[in-house]
Each structure stands twice: as structure tokens, then as C-alpha cells.
């Protein structure tokens, strides 16, 4: 099965993980993706939101995710809805 995220075609059989995230920078400079739930509930002034994203980890390169960035939560949620629509239509 294939899906498109932004302009990229993703072959799901090659993917180990695909998830939405908030990309943040900690006060010490560390940049990392975190769950939206963590960001919504636990983020404080010690973290800076850099962007929202859909992260794709390929089986062959699990430590190097492909990150599709979105400038705000509304655009991320629209991308998630589009992805769900693609999956729903392909499963029929």
C-alpha cells in the first residue's frame, strides 16, 4: 500500500513507524520529536515548539526518520485527515 504525504510517496510495507509529533527544542538545545499528548499536557517554558510533523521511520533506517513539517496544528490535523482518507479509500 502507498500513501502520499506532501509530495512524497510512502510505501507502507517499508515503514516501521508513522506518527504525528511536535518537534521541540529543550533549553539545553536538544531537538526531538515528542507525542502531541506530551506536548499538550506537559510542555512548559523549558521547551520551544519548532514545528508540528508527521514522522516516518523506515525499517532499513529506523534512526533517521523522514520528517514532514507543518507550521501549525491545523495544517498537521488536515494532513492526518488526508492520510486517513487515503488509507480508508485504499482498504475498500
| 3-state DSSP assignment of residue 74 | helix
The residue extents of the domains of the chain are 2-90
What pLDDT digit, counting tens, does each position of 35-88 carry?
999 999 988 888 999 999 999 999 988 678 899 999 999 999 999 999 999 999
Indicate whether 92 pLDDT > 70.
no
- The phi and psi torsions of 73 (rounded to 5 degrees) equal -65, -35
DSSP string, 36-65: HHHHHHH--TTEEEEEEEEEEEETTEEEEE
Q: Which residues contact 53 (CB under 8 A, 6 or more apart)?
A: 20, 21, 22, 23, 33, 67, 68, 69, 70, 76
Supply the pTM of this predicted model. Answer: 0.88
**What pLDDT score was predicted for residue 44?**
85
pLDDT confidence band for 91 (50 / 70 / 90): low
Indicate whether 2 pLDDT > 70.
yes
- The phi and psi torsions of 55 (rounded to 5 degrees) equal -105, 135
- The phi and psi torsions of 60 (rounded to 5 degrees) equal -80, -20
Amino acid at each position: 500500500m502507498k500513501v502520499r504525504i506532501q509530495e512524497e510517496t510512502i510505501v507502507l510495507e517499508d515503514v516501521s513507524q508513522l506518527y504525528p509529533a511536535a518537534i521541540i527544542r529543550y533549553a539545553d538545545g536538544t531537538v526531538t520529536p515528542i507525542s502531541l499528548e506530551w506536548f499538550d499536557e506537559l510542555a512548559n517554558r523549558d521547551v520551544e515548539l519548532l514545528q508540528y510533523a508527521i514522522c516516518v521511520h523506515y525499517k532499513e533506517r529506523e534512526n533517521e526518520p523522514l520528517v514532514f513539517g507543518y507550521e501549525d496544528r491545523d495544517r498537521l490535523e488536515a494532513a492526518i485527515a488526508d492520510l486517513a482518507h487515503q488509507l480508508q479509500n485504499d482498504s475498500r
